[in-house]
Amino acid sequence: MKSSIASRFQARLDERRAQSLYRQRPLALSAQQPIMQINGFPTINFCSNDYLGLASEPRIKAAVCADVTAGWGAGAAHLVTGHHLHHHLLEDELADWLGVERCLLFSTGYMANLAVQQTLMQKGDLILADKLNHASLIDGALASGADFKRYPHLDYTALARRLQASEQTTLVVSDSVFSMDGDLADINQLSGLANQHQAWLFIDDAHSLGVLGEQGRGSFSHFNQKIEVDHILVGTFGKAFGTSGAFVAGSNVLIESLIQFARPYIYTTASSPLNALATREALKWVKQADHLRQQLFANIRFFRHEAALLGLELLNSASPIQPILLGDAVKAIHWSEVLKQKGFWVAPIRYPTVPKQQARLRVTLSAAHNQTQIESLLSVLADLQKADRENG
């Protein structure tokens, strides 16, 4: 029987509303920064990924405005006429920074994650992925046609068993900092296991670049590991870089293969050349941003210390992602609503983004937050916690 769009979706939409799982898009009326106009109200933003506060850095904006050579639009795909000098130089600068042979730009991290797995892996291969990997990594694995198995979160004994059992070409895939939990994969163990079993290793460094490692070089640097020949790194610019887009880093053969065969690279317009210029400028700041990283980690330590004193349930995270576990989706919405009324924007994260009964408030911290802002957030959280205890 044929159906209309409404008959297919209306009941599902109604069900989501009834379960407190309906999503809205908050409307931002100002630049991305700690104090923002959202839905017409001034709020202190605690759910941005702008970890170093570069998204509204005036010197990046000034560099873009000063360019008289590049247009906004790329006009075509990279393989046609869309590959601008700013894209090319950004790729070289990223490769120098990370100590890899080559980098390749993508319009988004989502597309980079699709491209890597879809292009490298084929039917008969095996992808072994951490259970809590980002949705784009899961979609990329599913799009590849390879066998896809997930190991329990951070359980490298389970991963080793599966590697031991595999005789297929195998790709191990993991987030470095996990986007919903904020905890960190062990790059030493992953790299060791991959080498031991001749598997390829693919790390998504979206939340690590700019934050971890020397000069913000990310998780490999944090663990004093080299990015080796069968390693693939994806980085994104939408987090600590404060711009948008992504890249793949690795060997010359890897990058040439993506240029020749990756459909999410070939069949799409290149990102704006001025975005590439903004990102080149952002890279300069990221390299020099030790003072911002120090401020960021001071904010993280302060928040965790104070939140623990309040008895809030935090996860094992040393990253800017600091979830407060609440369990029930209705409670997460309620806390988020009260915070909103008091002028704080903190995203409630619910099923299906996280497992059922693991609903949480996902607080993210930035070097741009000051201590007073964090203290005032904690004071509302203290009131909510107290009211919750009193109501049993």
Ligand X SMILES: *Cc1c(COP(=O)(O)O)cnc(C)c1O
Q: By the criterion CB under 6 A, which residues form the site for ligand X? A: 108-110, 113, 134, 136, 175, 179, 204, 206-207, 236, 238, 246
> Which residue, 90 or 246, has its beta carbon nearer to ligand X?
246
Closer CB to ligand X, 108 or 295, in the complex: 108
Q: Assess whether 179 carries a catalytic annotation.
A: yes
Catalytic residue among 84, 87, 207, 369: 207
- Residue pair 349/323 in contact by the 8 Å Cβ criterion: yes
Find the catalytic residue in 78, 86, 239, 369: 239
Composition of the chain by helix, strand, coil, percent to 5 = 45, 20, 40
Q: Which is nearer to ligand X, 140 or 378 (CB)?
A: 140
Which of 137/255 has CB closer to ligand X?
137
Structure tokens at 112: 């980079």
Positive or negative torsion for Cα 222, 226, 227, 230: negative
Q: How far is the CB of 294 from ligand X (least distance, A)?
A: 23
Closest contact distance (angstroms) between CB of 94 and ligand X is 15
Nearer to ligand X, 121 or 240 (CB): 240
Q: Which H or E run includes 129?
A: strand 126-130
CB of 45 vs ligand X, minimal distance in Å: 17
Distance (Å, rounded) from C-alpha 365 to C-alpha 144? 35
Question: Is 239 assigned a catalytic role?
Answer: yes
Q: From residue 1, give the alpha-carbon distance in Å to each of 4, 5, 7, 8, 10.
A: 10, 13, 12, 12, 17
Rounded to 10°, the helix 187-196/156-165 angle is: 10
CB of 108 to ligand X, least distance (A): 3
Contacts for 98 with CB less than 8 Å, ≥ 6 apart: 217, 218, 220, 227, 233, 249
Nearer to ligand X, 45 or 136 (CB): 136
In sequence order, what are the beta bridge partners of 321?
364
Least distance in Å: CB of 208 to ligand X?
9
Give yes or no: 176 in active site.
no
Checking DSSP bridges between strand 35-38 and strand 200-204, what pairing results, if any? unpaired
Helix (H, G, I), strand (E, B) or coil at 95: helix
- Alpha carbon separation from 150 to 55, 142, 158, 172, 216 (Å, rounded): 34, 12, 10, 10, 29
Q: Measured at CB, which residue is nearest to ligand X?
A: 109
Q: Among the options 107, 179, 221, 271, which is catalytic?
A: 179
Q: How far is the CB of 245 from ligand X (least distance, A)?
A: 7
- Whole-Å CA distances, 183 to 153, 305, 332, 333, 356: 10, 17, 21, 23, 19
- Which residues are annotated as catalytic? 179, 207, 239
